[in-house]
Structure 1
Amino acid sequence: MIMRKIWLTAALFLLLVLAACSSASPDQNSAGADLPAGDPMECTLSSVFPAPTELTVAKLPEVTGSDWSRGPEDARLMLVEYSDFQCPYCAIAGRSLQAFEAAHSDQVRVVYRYFPLPSHDKAPLSAQAAEAAGLQGKFWEMHDLLFEEANWDAWTAMTPADFETWVADQADAIGLDREKFMADLKSDALVSKVEKAYGSALSSDLNSTPSLFIFVDGQLTFLPADQIPYDAQTLELLLTLSDLQAREYNACPPTVVDPAREYSATLQTTKGDITLRLYADKAPLAVNSFVFLAQQGWFDNVSWHRVLPDFVAQTGDPSGSGFGGPGYEFKNEVSDSLKFDREGLLAMANSGADTNGSQFFITYGPATNLDGGYTIFGEVTAGMDVVKKLTPRDPSKAGELPEGDKILSVTIEVK
């Protein structure tokens, strides 16, 4: 199992190798379907996300109607942010979360909680300004205004007295009743509320801002200690993987392969057909998993997400991110008689010994550096020219990637 604190860091690193990441056990079968009858193959359950944490263990107060939030209550992702308006990293996070929520307004909920640090002279007052705007139904307008880059650069350089004048003008600009806003700004009620929010953050053992708690499908999945980045790319990845998690299996696949028989597969792709001979006698676990997933439609419309000419073409992750798997892992099956000595070899991708899932690759040539670390479970018997036509894609490189070619369907033949 991958440790919680290194989940994303390790995942990003593993983009550079033949990786398929995973961690804790899921709760449902793929697409809600029952598994076929048969003795299960040997495997370990392993989800794309860590096991959820109870709120009491995390010392996190439950999200209620008294919290400031935007986005649906049944959002796929809920981001609970403890933040300080005067904190520079909070400003970056605030703008990032605002844009992400706006882009996925039907799937993402952002909850904002005050954590005004004593080292920032206007942190409590700016929180009170947001709260005063909230009393007139415009918390988020003030939140966005305070974090807007040009505004933030200006007001954080002011004295507290100058900030009061400035924020009163901003209250006018967003249509607030200025007199009521100024009366509420430093009222005992708002001062007390912000102080209590600070105390609550300390009771949750928080010591820095921003501190982000991430819920996936209603379950607390990541804690501030996990240090999940709040950039758009990472948040998009989490949302993508949350969709894949719903397809994961919660049991090891049944045995559907007889090692004494001969198996072949045809990958129908957007560039043409690729025919594979499967080594059921030498790698029965890998072939069994591959055949099972193919029969379940797991590979249908899946992208060749990593195509490196002269090295490998990799696929098998329905999320297209390179981090997804079927909810289980199985052992390596390394044979002394099989080496990465030519093009057209079919092998399992992994993120370390015995972490094979659904991702696999085809070699473009000899790759002796892979010997002993990856399970070879077949070879291309026809269509290597199609493999060579696949659109090159290197997820480890910066910039926008071209759209990947896809596996349309997989047909299994048995003799």
Structure 2
Amino acid sequence: MKTSKPAELMKEAKQRPMVFLKLSSDDVEFGTVEIELFSDLVPRAAENFRCLCTGEKGKGVFDKELHYKGSRIHRIIRGFLLQGGDFIYGNGMGNESIYGETFEDEDLSHSFTHERGAVSMANAGPDTNGSQFFITSANAPSLDGSYVVVGRVVDGMDVLKRVHQVDCNQEDEPLVSVFISDCGEYS
């Protein structure tokens, strides 16, 4: 169901899945980010993200667990976004969905845009969604129309702010290992 009124979209929120990502480094537990998935707007992308949080699909094409747990946050652009979800290589080069390697874009024009706290599927161009995702820490309208917004952060922006304080190299790669130490779905 597509609607253009944000108030109507928020009424549907009770039916949407809620997942969490617990972010840590070797020395620090940053905290938990809670995410509402837009299963009514982008059902395939939302189901992919949900299943990668729970790990319920087992191993994928690359013989790796289809699970975010233990995967790295491999890119942090301070004040803009953080990116993770490469459970294959951990460096941003691996990407696999629950549907195979990649899957097609869903509605890129729905009402939720890349506002602060948007959770989107990272891609390498049209119809290349897999496991990688990013979370915006600021409004990013330049990303609208190019990435599927799969959900939004409902709690934990303070956690993301702490992660954004991690020192990174010139390629925006964290100098310490930042990873998803736990993840799943709230019932």
Deviations 1:192-235 (CA, angstroms, capped at 9, x unpaired): xxxxxxxxxxxxxxxxxxxxxxxxxxxxxxxxxxxxxxxxxxxx
Aligned to 1:337: 111
Does the alignment pair 1:288 with 2:57?
A: no
Counterpart in 1 of 2:91? 321
Q: Which whole-Å CA distance do the structure 1 matches of 2:21 and 2:41 have between them?
A: 21
How far apart, CA to CA, are the structure 2 residues paired with 1:395 and 1:263? 36
Alpha-carbon contact 1:307-1:394 (below 8 Å) kept: no
Counterpart of 2:78 in structure 1 is: 309
Spell out the pairing of 1:11-410 with structure 2 (5 A cutoff): 261-270=15-24, 271-296=30-55, 298-318=67-87, 319-326=89-96, 327-333=100-106, 334-340=108-114, 342-390=115-163, 391-393=166-168, 396=171, 402-410=175-183
Taking the aligned partners of 2:169 and 2:83, their CA distance within structure 1 comes to 10
SS of structure 1 residue aligned to 2:151 = strand
Greater C-alpha radius of gyration: 1
- Pick closer, same or farther for the CA change 1:363–1:401 going to 2, 3 Å: closer
3-state SS of paired residue (1:385): helix
SS at match of 2:181: strand
How far apart are 1:302 and its partner, in Å?
1.0
1:396 CA drift (Å): 2.5
- Output the CA distance in 2 between the equivalents of 1:394 and 1:348: 24
CA contact (8 A) 2:70 2:182 kept: yes
Given the superposition, is the C-alpha separation of residues 269 and 401 from structure 1 closer, same or farther in structure 2, using an over 3 Å criterion?
closer
Deviations 1:320-358 (A, max 9, x none): 210101252111121331222x21110000000110000
Give 1:323's aligned amino acid.
Answer: M
- Deviation string for 1:118-164 (max 9, x for gaps)? xxxxxxxxxxxxxxxxxxxxxxxxxxxxxxxxxxxxxxxxxxxxxxx
Deviations 1:79-125 (A, max 9, x none): xxxxxxxxxxxxxxxxxxxxxxxxxxxxxxxxxxxxxxxxxxxxxxx
Contact 2:21 2:53 in 1 (8 A): no
Q: Which has the higher helix share?
A: 1
8 Å CA contact 2:74–2:174 kept in 1: the answer is no
Q: Distance in 2 between matches of 1:377 and 1:336?
A: 10
Q: Which residue of 2 aligns with 1:412?
A: 185
Deviation at 1:261, TM superposition (A): 3.5
Structure 1 counterpart of 2:67, one-letter code: W
Give the residue type in structure 1 aligned to 2:52.
L
What is the letter of the counterpart of residue 300 of structure 1?
A: K
Stretches of 4+ aligned residues off by more than 3 angstroms? 392-395
Instruction: Tell me which protein shows more strand as a share of its residues.
Output: 2
Amino acid in the other structure paired with 1:264: M
Unaligned runs of 5+ in 2: 1-13, 25-29, 56-65
- Paired letter, 1:314: Q
- Matches of 2:168 and 2:152, distance apart in 1: 22
Judged with a 3 Å threshold, the aligned counterparts in structure 2 of structure 1 residues 330 and 285 are, in CA distance, closer, same or farther, namely same
- Per the TM alignment, residue 394 of structure 1 is displaced from its structure 2 partner at its CA by 5.1
Query: What is the CA distance between 1:395 and its match in structure 2?
Result: 6.4
Deviations 1:255-289 (A, max 9, x none): xxxxx942001111211111111110111111111
Kept after mapping to 2: 8 A contact 1:344/1:365 = yes
State whether residues 394 and 401 of structure 1, in contact with CA within 8 Å, keep that contact through their aligned partners in structure 2: yes
TM-score computed with the length of structure 1 as normaliser:
0.35
What one-letter code is carried by the residue in structure 2 that aligns with 1:393? C
Question: Once superposed, what is the RMSD of the aligned Cα atoms?
Answer: 2.1
How many residue pairs end up in the alignment?
153
* Rounded Cα–Cα distance in structure 2 between residues aligned with 1:320 and 1:402: 14
In structure 2, what is the Cα distance between the partners aligned to 1:262 and 1:401? Answer: 32
Flag the 1:311–1:335 CA change in 2: closer, same or farther, 3 A.
same
Residue identity in the other structure for 2:73: W
Q: Matched residues, percent identical?
A: 34
Q: Closer, same or farther in 2 for the Cα pair 1:395/1:350, shift >3 Å?
A: farther
Unmatched 5+ stretches in structure 1: 1-259
Residue in 2 that maps onto 1:15: none
